[in-house]
Amino acid sequence: MFQFIYSQLIRLVLPFILIRLWWQGRKAPALRRDWQHRLGWVPEISGPVIWVHAVSVGETIAAGPLVRRLLARNLGATILMTAMTDTGLAQARKMFGDRVTYAYAPYDTPGAIRRFLDRINPRILVILETEIWPNMIRQCRRRRVPVFLINARLSERSARGYERVKGLAAPIMKSITWVAAQADRDADRFRRIGVAASHVEVTGSVKFDVDIPDDVRAASSALREELGARPVWIAGSTHSGEDQQLLDAHQRILQQHPEALLIIVPRHPDRFDSVAELAEKEGFSVARRSTGDDPAETQIYLGDTMGELMMLYGASDIAFVGGSLIERGGHNPLEPAAWGIPVFSGPHVFNFETIYEHLLTDGAVQVIDGADALAMALSKLMTDKEECRAYGVRALSVVQKNRGALDKVVEGIIERL
């Protein structure tokens, strides 16, 4: 009954979702491209298929090392990567080119999922983190397609939410073949909401197994040469409500370090123009990466391209990870940590609580709240090069000593194929 009611509700709101997609496509034409995928009409794929679903950019980056390992195993299967967002698919294409196949994930109506599965006939479904869609999971299990929830995390708030709709959630959870949880608390919460205890295993976070391809390292080094010896800090994956605070912090930093550069990278492309306008309104000189502007003399360098955040982290001395000064839950701090640079964050990091615990325990991240505190801490590290280097060493050390989850996940997938 709960599944039926859910499916009917999804069907009712679907026309409004499609209208919203068309409206957003005015500014982001990529959203309208291949829109039929979202209703299940994707090109047919022959032969065995490993379906890897990552909702957006962050999850796609996290899936990168896993997909590379699966490709290296020569399993004789097509790897299909899906995402819900155009930015997620753009990131995937940048990472893998023609080595894998791509599609938008279908909306979670019974018909869309059925058409999608008929056309791709997957051998397994690998879902990154906690992207739980009832019809997707139930229909896969009906077709005896194993469903793996990889790098799985579940906050206490989300667990309580699932408990409130236990009639819907419990049958879905029982349909999941394997949950590879990031931490013990995540595993306990998944068991609490209905996943069979024998189907849950703590493997750690695959995000610690971040790898930096050689071409990204080369591009980063080239950009750093352009920037010169000036102090460079980056604010990655910023959201509305944070940019003003970051610009205020940079204004204060420039009083002590007038040659400093802020690279700011908004999380969503539709905010590129508004962030550039805000910075110019505040009196900063702004260069945009998308137009090939020279960043050598500017005060703000806007990272308004897709799929280059990892490279831009590598060209910086210090990183602030966005989505954390507002109640968004933060983004992945391990991407800058893997470059061996100091990592800063705001206080709202509930999406990465386990990772931040590791970093905080080893003194590898500084959590600040507001422009004044951020400016003071950054200025101190820009002055004290040795302390800046030590922070970066600690950050990289946390990444290195927590690697290994990816090996467990890959072996777990192979064993269950």
Q: What is the pLDDT along the chain (417 residues), one digit of tens a residue?
A: 677 788 888 889 888 888 888 887 777 777 778 889 999 999 999 999 999 999 888 888 888 889 999 998 888 899 999 999 888 898 899 889 999 999 999 999 999 999 999 999 999 999 998 888 899 999 999 999 999 999 998 888 888 988 888 877 888 899 999 999 988 999 999 999 999 899 999 998 888 988 888 999 999 999 999 999 999 999 999 999 999 999 999 999 999 999 999 999 999 888 999 999 999 999 999 999 999 999 988 999 999 998 899 999 999 999 999 999 999 999 999 999 999 999 999 999 988 888 999 999 999 999 999 999 999 999 999 999 999 999 999 999 999 999 988 988 888 888 876
Annotation says 59 is catalytic? yes
Strand, coil or helix: what is 300? Answer: strand
The pLDDT assigned to 289 comes to 96
Of the residues 59, 242, 308, 335, only one is catalytic, namely 59
CA 194 centroid distance within chain: 26
Phi, psi for 49 (deg, rounded to 5):
-130, 130
Measure the CA–CA gap between 195 and 177, rounded to whole angstroms: 9
Give the Å distances, CA to CA, from 141 to 39, 218, 314: 20, 44, 42
Q: What is the pTM of this model?
A: 0.82
Please list, in sequence order, all residues whose beta carbon lies within 8 angstroms of the beta carbon of residue 333, skipping any fewer than 6 positions away: 319, 321, 343, 345, 349, 352, 355, 356, 359, 365
